Chains A and B, each alone.
Chain A
């Protein structure tokens, strides 16, 4: 602090002079505040685009029924068979649906113009205009009978062509807006009431709509319960056995062996972390495949070859936990090892003089020093295991039969990739929202726990 005061007292002269002479942007950039905001800007842009916006979008989409079928950007109005079924079943407007589904024949100027373009004899067109303009027929036969009754008596083929020109059907027609849909519907069915229009618009809309159905479904689905307990089991087991437990064993064990050997073991246990995940999991597959190492080895003892990774739920879990745990162990190993290294050597010497066994040293010297590192690793790894997806996706893909489906993988299978092909973005976002909320809560909690104020050093140059 003293240095900064010196600067503050003696230093400002040249700086102030510069600030006065330089104007506008330049001087603003020269201030700590101006330069700071400029240098922070790119980071802020990325944070807004890829953290804040996605959090908000996740929250919004969770309240929609958005899926591959509805599209993302909005929809159209289509009088599809399924829309008519909705009209019948959910709105009780079966009669309306039936009429909309059937083609009707209306003699109008538009149809007459089409006839002229088609090159139908002018006499027939004139006759139709004279006798039938404005009339509507609900069946093709009836209309064709009327055409045949014209004085010109068109040939059968011509009759068919004429009736086709006047056929007006909404079935499978797409409209860009609700207004266009209603206008077309009124042409067929002139006396629609407001309720019918409303129902028609709702039933034929192909885009997504707002709904809280996703959360109701999530709360009542049996899958939720299963996946929830799978996730809990996965996180707790991996965390206790490997990310802290085995990591501690590795750190302590390498502490008690010569430095050279310790280095080799640390590198070996680091391989899973530095290996690209696709290769790392491939190596496990090689170990577990039905033509893989384990099967070949055990066949010498009369064990039937099988795919050990997927043949039973228990085995699948063993592999999922091993695969994730071997990666997780290295972080704890490094952190615990450096914490052990920081313990004053004199403590160990004193213990050695007292004839303390190793486990007494571990119990009374090492473990007490590892309290904070253990807490830190536990916190960090809880979150990362909760949201880990790569290893499990690439190894069991949630199998066999969904036995190892964990929450993050469930999101992936619901919203991003499944065999059925209908990706349910809305439902997936609702699932993701659960993790987002947990993630934000835990990260804020850790911030409190590891008191970040200690890390802030006040700037020593004050302008």
Chain B
């Protein structure tokens, strides 16, 4: 289609524009395993000293493993909640004849567009009153609620692609609507459920402001809050340490993205916020 037009000038221009980003991410790797003389960015020695945070816990901070476990709990629980609730509600909106279905559908769209972060002051106070402030459960529920509208919307989209004939056949054979959903339709949307779970996990893993506000305590700190407090501490400025913790934190994201790029790009393109 573009036969007589050369593409190398565009590639060159894009490369120049992308250079800062590439530089930043390359140095994220490089700086964690090397040292460079002051004022220079050419490394002159290989070292693992920046990774000592893995076996040596700095005074006054929770252990990195504790924090990682919290992050894992937080991200998997929110993902599980989002997937279960969305695959139920999404089916209703896609297939079932409930009263005010149009209203529910519109509601999901509005909730999806609505910036829930504006409610954080109220949520903060509500959690304090009901005693869920500074607990993982509290912040998991909030995060799941905020991600849920997107989940329902995506699941509805996946269910919409399942042929009606499958359900009709099931009902004619005498199965209940519940059984039809559980045994016949759910297996059809497995890839969608997997993609949503992955996506919700990554959203939870990267989340910063909710745990920062709702669960900042040492026992329930997640990796993002831990890293942010490490960076905010003016007394111990050590960029190589920050980057090592950062890379440790980001590794699961990179691995998942590397393997499941296609799934994720689709969802990101399908209208997430940010």
Contact = CB atoms under 8 A, between A and B. Distances in A.
Are A and B a genuine interacting pair, yes or no? yes
Interface of A: 3-4, 7, 10-11, 14-15, 18, 29-33, 35-37, 39-40, 42-43, 46-47, 49-51, 53-55, 57-58, 61, 66, 72-73, 250, 253-254, 256-258, 261, 265-279, 282-287, 289, 291-293, 296, 299, 326-328, 330-331, 334-335, 338, 345, 348-349, 352, 358, 376, 380, 383-384, 386-390, 393-394, 408, 411-412, 415-417, 425, 428-429, 432, 435-436, 439-440, 442-444, 446-447, 452-453, 455-457, 459-463
Interface string B67-92: 00000000000000000111011011
Contact of B14 (A254, A335, A390): A254
Contact of B41 (A293, A428, A446, A452): A293
Nearest to A324: B274
B181 interface: yes
Contacts of A53: 122, 126
A248 B223 CA distance: 34
B249 to A, nearest CB: 6
B2 A256 contact: yes
B43 to A, nearest CB: 13
Nearest to A46: B145
B44 interface: no
Contact of B273 (A276, A380, A461): A380
Contacts of B125: 57, 61, 66, 72, 425
Q: By CB atoms of chain A within 10 A, which of B4, B205, B273 has the most?
A: B273
Contact of A460 (B24, B164, B209, B247): B164
Contact of B10 (A256, A266, A380): A256
Contacts of B123: 50, 54
B2 A33 contact: no
Given A54-B126, A274-B257, A352 B4 contact: yes
Contacts of A277: 206, 208, 224
Interface in B22-81: 22-25, 27-28, 31, 39-41
B178 A443 contact: no
Given A328-B274, A456-B101, A15 B171 contact: yes
Given A36-B97, A51-B145, A42 B117 contact: no
A279 B249 contact: yes
Given A39-B92, A61-B125, A432-B118, 9 more contacts: A29-B178, A50-B123, A51-B116, A57-B125, A61-B121, A416-B120, A432-B119, A439-B118, A447-B113
B208 A30 contact: no
Contacts of A416: 120-121, 124, 213
Contacts, number: 326
A341 B125 CA distance: 47
B136 interface: no
21 contacts: A3-B165, A18-B176, A35-B178, A36-B101, A47-B107, A61-B125, A73-B129, A257-B11, A261-B11, A279-B250, A283-B27, A286-B31, A292-B239, A331-B268, A384-B273, A387-B118, A412-B120, A416-B213, A440-B110, A457-B94, A463-B97
B272 interface: yes
Contacts of A72: 125, 128-129
Nearest to A41: B88
B135 to A, nearest CB: 15
A273 B274 contact: yes
Given A53-B126, A276-B249, A416-B121, A282 B242 contact: yes
A-B pairs, 9 with minimum CB distance: A36-B98, A334-B269, A50-B145, A387-B115, A276-B206, A36-B96, A443-B113, A54-B122, A54-B119
Contacts of B272: 331
Given A275-B206, A276-B253, A331-B269, A461 B18 contact: no
Contacts of A299: 39
B168 A383 contact: no
B61 to A, nearest CB: 15
Contacts of A459: 95-97, 101
Contacts of A291: 239
B266 to A, nearest CB: 9
A253 B98 contact: no
A436 B164 contact: no
A457 B162 CA distance: 13
Interface string B1-24: 111110100110110001011111
A61 B119 CA distance: 12
Given A390-B209, A425-B125, A257 B145 contact: no
A41 to B, nearest CB: 8
Nearest to B1: A348
B189 interface: no
Interface residues on B, range: 35 or more
Given A289-B239, A380-B271, A416-B120, A283 B25 contact: yes
Identify whether the interface residues of A are mostly helix, strand, loop, or mixed. helix
B141 A50 contact: yes
B10 A257 contact: yes
B164 to A, nearest CB: 5
Interface in B161-199: 164-165, 167-168, 171-174, 176-178, 181
A307 to B, nearest CB: 12
Interface in B103-117: 104-107, 109-111, 113-117
A271 B171 contact: no
B219 interface: no
A435 B122 CA distance: 13
A285 B231 contact: yes
Contacts of A273: 268, 274
A390 B208 contact: yes
B142 interface: yes
A223 to B, nearest CB: 17
B142 A432 contact: no
Given A258-B7, A293-B23, A416-B213, A334 B268 contact: yes
A456 B265 CA distance: 25
Contact of B104 (A10, A40, A326, A435): A40
A36 B92 contact: yes
A3 B167 CA distance: 12
A455 to B, nearest CB: 7
A61 B122 contact: yes
Given A299-B39, A461-B167, A51 B268 contact: no
